[in-house]
Amino acid sequence: MKDKFTQKYRGNMEFTIRKNRLFFISLIFLSLIACSKSEEIQVTEFSDYKFQSSGTRQFEWDDEGGIGWVKILLEKANFKDAEIEIAEMYFPPGYQDIAHMHELELLFVLEGRLDHIVNGESHILRPGMLGVVREPDLVVHRADSDVGVRVLVIWPYGKEVQVLEDEQLREISLIIN
């Protein structure tokens, strides 16, 4: 009897810890969004990174529903010492990728509906919702909207831009010299 109670208590405790971690990650993410609403940017001449970004480059691929793309907003090219990478991503209508893994990926839906399938379980995300996936879970992204899906994606540990480069997608530079 005691073992069943202990197992149930530990299971509830682990769930609470996971829920609290997700809450704090979401809180940090939303704080970043709130801070990004600032109108004024102070620029110093001694900085080794850009204070704003409209993107460094864009990767594209052809799909039955149109052209999909990933616009890289933050990477080592414009934020030298950071591991974090941030991108805006568009999945055209009907798009579905294959199951894959990320060390940690945060997807914030901006427009459309995203079927965020984690380990075979479907989670429909609408604008304003956040999807999270981390190792060793497998994720599939599927556009569940007639207009496609646009998301802000954060890879806190980086290394994802290199994966996009390795896939040999069309690459367009967005840096204006």
Confidence of residue 53 (pLDDT cuts 50, 70, 90): confident
The residue-averaged pLDDT of 66-86 equals 88
The residue-averaged pLDDT of 43-58 equals 68
The residue-averaged pLDDT of 4-15 equals 59
Confidence of residue 16 (pLDDT cuts 50, 70, 90): low
- Between 37 and 25, residue with greater pLDDT: 25
Domain ranges of the chain: 1-40, 57-173
pLDDT at 54: 80
CA distance 143 to 114: 5
The residue-averaged pLDDT of 63-71 equals 95
Q: Is residue 48 pLDDT above 80, yes or no?
A: no
Q: Is residue 21 pLDDT above 80, yes or no?
A: no
Confidence of residue 2 (pLDDT cuts 50, 70, 90): low
CA distance 46 to 34: 26
Instruction: Assess contact for 117 and 171: CB atoms under 8 A.
Output: no
CB neighbours of 10 closer than 8 A, spacing ≥ 6? none
What's the fold here for domain 57-173? Jelly Rolls (2.60.120)
The widest CA-to-CA distance across the chain, in whole angstroms, is 70
The residue-averaged pLDDT of 57-68 equals 95
pLDDT at 71: 96
Question: Cis before residue 93, ω within 30 degrees of 0?
Answer: no
Residue with tokens 């933050």, as numbered in its chain: 74
